[in-house]
């Protein structure tokens, strides 16, 4: 266990590693080769909680802290850096700024979907003429009534074209004011936003990187993130936190390359011995390991500072600088250890080498990191000390992740616990019991009469299993028909399962069918039957003997429920004659919500009206459509017309 990690954090790391090795590593090379976005794995990452690690639990996230985020980023990137950058953008550059700067409505609208992986996010800052110099962005936002109108082009946008939500940074255009920036939440379907072709990249080729074009894109005022003028602050604070994720990504790449180099050095032989026995290789491996651990400590330090609410901008820059350059150095040495094979695309070290380079470029180049560190030093900043009063930080926890079972594990889980009983159809259970009692000496017997099934059932206990004897009481029942067709003998075999409904769904996926679409109560519990055609002529029963409940049948003496009160679900419109709504009317002598004009003479299409008592007014729960003869509704028929209700002569049979 690492000295800076708790037992829960180590368990969390192992769980993410197992998931990455099982789900991501096997398909990483294929996605890289074909440059395809790993949509299925993104959904799996969302189900596990990795796409919302930094989102509080109240918004559907895992509620984890920066340390857990760094651990997860390292393990995912160790399997594939492209999966890592998708996860990094989602957590640190999209979900976190929305939680930190967004309104309550924005948090409700987006955080649940982002945390579950149902929606992917994207961060749009870089432009063709402004990368590191973010203040010189050319994208503009102009206020126009209840909207902002955005125009501009964004470059190198991760998740571009795949995301459902884009955080777009733009310069506010307003007369007589200093240039200010703002951040906007722009959904992919907004008119005026479009995406360029996927970039052909050196590495992280499974991630989507495109240009984003904004042409007269109208964004509602409520989609402003933070306030006007907060854009640069939001961008820089997001990048400070994002650099921890990229440092962890670089760590994962370096660790993967180091692991591959160690394994290869042990198996590759030269001059009659494994190359790991040569001092030159050993020194290379030692230096690789030292640099990785140095970068890991810097990364954990930055993550711990952020999780405690302490300043961490310089430390995150140090971590990213160290880890990214370590990744490049380690992957280069890993290729050298592999020799000619390292240059082949058949081995993964070439992918690690290609993926490592981007960590020195995005979310702040290595040169920018050196500027951040140097300016901090020259300002005389000292190592961060604990504040006099604890800073307010969101409560975090190390989440306990639950991996879905593997196919082999699922098969073991769904396998029957045991053979519960075999069922024998007999003409008379009393006669059959003589053999089991007198000859075999089995005295533990349970007798049941199931009137609803037309059966007399006897369960004979034989050690851990049972024999079920079935005597038909209904001459037309299935057991009686079985006896007529085959005579006394084996009727079915029953297997006990933990959850019969889950077992049904599982076996249906493997080609099985069931006589009942859902489980039903049986003599031994909740049961379901497979037809004899599946098991070479034997009826197969699955039974859940505990942990279930059977809904009670409604009592015959139960009083009928009262008719529901009228619920208005559509606006009531005011017309010349007052307020009216299809299905709502007022008698002429009853004041409506608005003043009623004098009644106009009826037209030929209108039916005459009469005046019943007020008790004849029906209770409505759906709108009444208007037809040629007035308002009609199937199921509402009275013996006499009702005052205030236009009537129509029925053209068909009276509805029941």
Mean pLDDT, residues 107-111: 97
- Pair 293, 358 in one domain: yes
Other beta carbons within 10 Å of 346: 8
Is 397 inside any structural domain? no
Query: Is the per-residue pLDDT at 625 higher than 70?
Result: no
- Pair 103, 147 in one domain: no
Indicate which CATH number applies to the domain containing 348: 1.20.140.10
Confidence class of residue 486 from pLDDT cuts 50, 70 and 90? confident
Query: Is the per-residue pLDDT at 647 higher than 60?
Result: no
Query: Which of 61-70, 388-397, 545-554 shows the lowest mean pLDDT across its residues?
Result: 388-397
Identify the domain boundary among 340, 367, 383. 383
Q: Which 3-state string (H, E, C) describes 259-293?
A: HHHHHHHHHCEECCEEHHHCHHHHHHHHHHHHHHH
Q: Which domain holds residue 355?
A: 254-383
Query: Is the per-residue pLDDT at 393 higher than 90?
Result: no
- Pair 333, 417 in one domain: no
- Pair 316, 427 in one domain: no
Query: Is the distance from CB of 592 to CB of 575 less than 8 angstroms?
Result: no
Query: Which of 41-55, 414-428, 515-529, 606-620 shows the lowest mean pLDDT across its residues?
Result: 606-620
Say how many domains are in the chain: 5
Task: Report how far Cα 61 is from the mean position of its chain's Cα atoms.
Answer: 10
Mean pLDDT, residues 5-22: 95
State percent of the chain over pLDDT 70. Answer: 80
Is residue 304 classed exposed, middle or buried when 0-12, 13-18 and 19+ CB atoms within 10 A define those classes?
Answer: middle
What gap in Å lies between CA 110 and CA 369, rounded to an integer?
A: 31
- Pair 12, 66 in one domain: yes
Choice between 173 and 503, residue whose per-residue pLDDT is larger: 503
Is 654 inside any structural domain? no
Confidence class of residue 386 from pLDDT cuts 50, 70 and 90? low
From residue 151, alpha-carbon distances to 161, 174, 539 in Å are: 18, 14, 69
Is 644 inside any structural domain? no
Is 465 inside any structural domain? yes
- Pair 156, 61 in one domain: no
pLDDT in the model for residue 400: 85
- Pair 293, 171 in one domain: no
Identify the domain boundary among 510, 544, 578. 544
Query: Is the per-residue pLDDT at 575 higher than 80?
Result: no
Query: Is the distance from CB of 266 to CB of 339 less than 8 angstroms?
Result: no
Q: Quick: pLDDT tens for 127-141.
A: 998 876 777 899 999
Q: Quick: pLDDT tens for 144-172.
A: 999 999 999 999 999 999 999 999 999 99
Confidence class of residue 176 from pLDDT cuts 50, 70 and 90? low
- CB under 8 Å to 592, separation ≥6 — which residues? 578, 579, 586
Confidence class of residue 403 from pLDDT cuts 50, 70 and 90? confident
Its pTM stands at 0.71
Query: Is the distance from CB of 422 to CB of 540 less than 8 angstroms?
Result: no
- Pair 439, 520 in one domain: yes
- Pair 2, 69 in one domain: yes
Q: Which two tokens stand for residue 606?
A: 């209108």
Is 307 inside any structural domain? yes
Which of 174-183, 246-255, 308-317 has maximum average pLDDT? Answer: 246-255
- Pair 211, 221 in one domain: yes
Is 358 inside any structural domain? yes
pLDDT in the model for residue 605: 47
Confidence class of residue 112 from pLDDT cuts 50, 70 and 90? very high
- Pair 96, 161 in one domain: no
Is 474 inside any structural domain? yes
Is 186 inside any structural domain? yes
Angle between helices 39-48 and 81-88 (to 10 degrees): 60
State percent of the chain over pLDDT 90. Answer: 65
pLDDT in the model for residue 413: 85
Coil, helix or strand for 168?
strand
Mean pLDDT, residues 279-304: 97
- Pair 535, 516 in one domain: yes
Other beta carbons within 10 Å of 450: 14
pLDDT in the model for residue 594: 41
Task: Report how far Cα 376 is from the mean position of its chain's Cα atoms.
Answer: 41
pLDDT in the model for residue 617: 41
pLDDT in the model for residue 408: 86
Identify the domain boundary among 366, 383, 400. 383
Q: Quick: pLDDT tens for 504-558.
A: 999 998 899 999 889 988 888 899 999 988 888 889 999 998 888 765 655 555 5
Active site residues: 363
Mean pLDDT, residues 408-430: 89
Indicate which CATH number applies to the domain containing 75: 1.10.540.10
Indicate which CATH number applies to the domain containing 139: 2.40.110.10
Indicate which CATH number applies to the domain containing 443: 3.10.180.10
């Amino acid at each position: 266990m690492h000295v800076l990690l708790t037992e829960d954090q180590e368990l969390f790391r192992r769980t993410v590693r197992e998931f990455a090795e099982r789900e991501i590593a096997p398909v990483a090379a294929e996605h890289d080769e074909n440059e395809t976005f790993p949509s299925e794995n993104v959904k799996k990452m969302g189900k596990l909680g990795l796409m919302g690690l930094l989102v509080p639990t109240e918004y559907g996230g895992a509620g984890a802290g920066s340390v857990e985020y760094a651990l997860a980023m390292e393990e995912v990137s160790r399997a594939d850096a492209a999966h890592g950058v998708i996860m990094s953008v989602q957590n640190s550059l999209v979900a976190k700024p929305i939680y930190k700067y967004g309104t309550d409505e924005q948090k409700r609208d987006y955080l649940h979907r982002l945390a579950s992986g149902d929606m992917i996010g994207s961060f749009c800052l870089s432009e063709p003429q402004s990368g590191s110099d973010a203040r010189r962005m050319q994208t503009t936002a102009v206020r126009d009534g209840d909207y902002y109108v955005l125009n501009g082009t964004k470059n190198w946008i991760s998740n571009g074209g795949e995301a459902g939500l884009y955080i777009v940074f733009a310069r506010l255009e307003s007369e007589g004011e200093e240039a200010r920036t703002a951040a906007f939440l722009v959904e992919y379907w907004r008119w005026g936003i479009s995406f360029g072709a996927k970039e052909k990249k050196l590495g992280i080729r499974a991630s989507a990187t495109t240009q984003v074009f904004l042409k007269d894109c109208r964004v509602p005022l409520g989609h402003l993130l933070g306030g006007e003028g907060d854009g640069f602050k939001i961008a820089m604070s997001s990048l400070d936190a994002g650099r921890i994720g990229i440092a962890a990504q670089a760590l994962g790449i370096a660790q993967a390359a180091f692991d591959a180099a160690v394994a290869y050095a042990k198996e590759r032989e030269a001059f009659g011995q494994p190359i790991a026995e040569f001092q030159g290789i050993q020194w290379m491996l030692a230096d690789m390991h030292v640099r990785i651990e140095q970068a890991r400590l810097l990364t954990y330090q930055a993550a711990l500072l952020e999780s405690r609410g302490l300043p961490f901008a310089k430390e995150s820059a140090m971590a990213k600088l160290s880890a990214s350059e370590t990744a490049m150095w380690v992957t280069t040495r890993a290729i050298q250890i592999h020799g000619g094979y390292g240059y082949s695309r058949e081995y993964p070290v070439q992918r690690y080498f290609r993926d490592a380079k981007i960590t020195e470029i995005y979310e702040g180049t290595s040169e920018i990191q050196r500027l951040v560190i140097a300016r901090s030093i020259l300002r005389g900043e000292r190592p961060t000390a604990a504040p006099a009063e604890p800073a307010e930080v969101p409560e975090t926890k190390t989440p306990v992740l639950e991996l879905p079972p593997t196919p082999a594990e699922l098969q073991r889980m769904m396998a029957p616990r045991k053979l519960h009983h075999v069922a024998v159809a007999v003409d008379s259970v009393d006669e059959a019991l003589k053999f089991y009692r007198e000859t075999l000496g089995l005295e533990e017997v349970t007798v049941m009469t199931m009137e609803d099934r037309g059966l007399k059932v006897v369960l004979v206990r034989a050690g851990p299993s049972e024999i079920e004897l079935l005597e038909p009481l209904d001459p037309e029942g299935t057991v009686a028909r079985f006896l007529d067709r085959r005579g006394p003998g084996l009727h079915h075999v029953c297997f006990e399962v933990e959850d019969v409904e889950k077992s049904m769904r599982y076996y249906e996926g493997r080609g099985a069918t069931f006589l009942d679409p859902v489980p039903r109560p049986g003599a031994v519990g909740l049961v379901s039957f497979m037809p004899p055609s599946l098991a070479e002529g034997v009826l197969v029963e699955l039974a859940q003997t505990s942990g279930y409940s059977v809904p009670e049948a409604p009592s015959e003496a139960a009083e009928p429920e009262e008719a529901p009160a009228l619920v208005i679900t559509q606006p009531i419109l005011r017309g010349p004659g007052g307020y009216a709504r299809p299905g709502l009317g007022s008698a002429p002598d009853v004041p409506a919500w608005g003043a009623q004009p004098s009644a106009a003479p009826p037209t030929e299409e209108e039916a005459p009206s009469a005046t019943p008592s007020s008790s004849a007014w029906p209770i409505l729960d759906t709108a009444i459509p208007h037809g040629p003869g007035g308002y009609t509704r199937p199921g509402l028929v009275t013996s006499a017309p009702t005052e205030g209700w236009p009537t129509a002569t029925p053209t068909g049979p009276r509805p029941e």
